[in-house]
Amino acid sequence: MRALLLTGLLAAPLCAAAATLDVAWWRDGRVQATQLHDGDPPPRPFDGARDVPLGSLWKLFVYVYAVDTRTPMPDYRCGGRDPEEVYCCTAGKTIARDAALAQSCGPFFAPHRLRIGAAPWRAYWSGRLGAEPAGELAWLASPANLTPERTVRLASLLRALASVPAESRAVAEGALLRVVLDGRGADTVRWFGSGLRVKTFSWHETPQRGGAAQRLGGAAGWLADGTPVWFAGTGTSAGIFRQWAPQLAAALPASLPTAPARDSGCVEVEFFARYPVRAVRGPAGPAASGPLHGRHVVQFENGNSLALQGNGDMLLARDDAGRPHVRGRFGVNEYVARVVDREGGTQEPEAAKALAVAARTYLQQNAQRAAGCQRIADSSATQRVSPNPASTAALAVARWTDQLVIEGATVRYHRDVPGPDTLAWTQAVAQARQGRRFDEVLAAAWPRGALGIAGNSGTRCNRLANNEAWLARALPRWERVLRAEAGYEQPAQLPAVCALAVGAPYSEQSRNRIFMRPLATREDRITLAHEYLHIGLRLHPRGQDEDYVERLARRLADMNPETL
């Protein structure tokens, strides 16, 4: 993604002198906007009526077109000569479509490589928009128009995103969820959950009246309910996420109450697996086999009974011997929410989010597959599921963590007994009350795991032993300097340093991990010091000041290099 200069193309600078972030979304057929700021309010609030650079967002439109029209997207093989391949793969390696979108691999999406013709492209977008792309939407008339330096009307960009069909949007969102996990928004999943599905961009813009070029970063895509969203500010896209994630998450619009609750798959539950059922009674007496509607009472052979509410998703069946069995069939989020209600609760939201991720992971690791559904028993030997509809609060937690799972670890949990690779609910509640976010609660329970996406392998840590050894030797000397730096806190453990295949190095602060390449040069040592500082200063505003962090990293990396 080359950083070209935008000279005089914007009607006004995208960001005022004060630190600001412009945010816009598309609802009710129009742009709605707000502006976030640090310090005094800026003099010229953002109203959304603006031309914005397309940047690398063009790749998202190629991706959607190819998915929706079933255009083949073969893997791209890196030859090592194109500088754009730094966002793709190393020489001789290949990259597939979803990773290419999340990593912003331009060569993958080149229209001529995918053999996208001008006529079918125009016909597709004419059908999506209801008319041939013209006027403010003329940039969509031909794939040749999709250049990163092109400026487009923000309203037209959001309108184009709104026209994407739900099916192909869902496919794109599956790839874009990685942005807040291990992409340029790495370590911001604690603020957004799975609610933000955006393609990032970084660019340069030069103010209309001259002056130094400013970095411009941001992202565009959708919220979980399908609302198109865009945001941008001064800096790189990674820096925007680090600086603005909490405020941005709070400023984004609430989900539409009329939005369909999409759910990834279905779950069949065998209820009361360890407790034989004697009878099921409804309002009018013994219940007939089939779907259960309304309030029913389940009577067990041991003499106990339990009331349940059926909404047609609970089924009474009988085996060959005539014994009754109660089964349920739910969407994954409804299932997860019922587990949260039964195994924990929602009084401490961060603990509830952690339990939701654990329950979804346990399901993925232990359920059997049958007829397109996951099948699991309601049992204390597996995980217990409420026979009643999920509470509103638990369902909100399940949807907020939609598709998030733990990768790289076997997941178990218990009410109050902690252990290796086990989440203890009472301990999770205590951690939440201490201010821990859900990803920190999960990291404490599964230190060798990582947050990922159900059915989508995530970034695992291939340890760089030499990098870790160098850091361990350097830290004692660094500590003498860092103790005088405001806001510095030494991590309880040495950060894990993980191999980075492509893209820019980054620190995953909640998991105490650094992703970079093997140490070979002074710049590599500076990079390691830089990302370590982001971890050590993670709780202090200076930890987001890239200039300060870089200056300090260079000072640290050059301390007695011959002895390190």
Q: Which two tokens stand for residue 191?
A: 């603020």
CB 403 within 8 A of CB 194: yes
Q: What is the DSSP string of 416-438?
A: S--BTTEEEHHHHHHHHHTT--H
How many C-beta neighbours within 10 Å does residue 490 have?
13
Distance CA 499, CA 514 (A): 9
Q: Which two tokens stand for residue 248?
A: 């941005």
Angle value at C-alpha 135, between 14 and 216, nearest 5 degrees: 20
Q: Which two tokens stand for residue 244?
A: 């603005």
**Helix 465-482 crosses helix 522-536 at what angle (to 10 degrees)?**
60
pLDDT along the chain (564 residues), means of 10: 30 48 93 84 70 92 93 90 86 89 92 94 95 93 92 94 91 90 87 94 65 78 94 90 93 76 78 88 88 91 90 87 88 93 94 96 85 78 86 94 89 85 92 94 89 66 87 92 86 83 68 84 91 83 76 87 47
Q: What domains, with CATH codes, occur in the chain?
A: 20-251 (3.40.710.10), 341-368+383-453 (no CATH), 465-563 (3.30.2010)
Closest CA to 351 of 417, 263, 434, 420: 434
CB 537 within 8 A of CB 543: yes
pLDDT for 458: 43
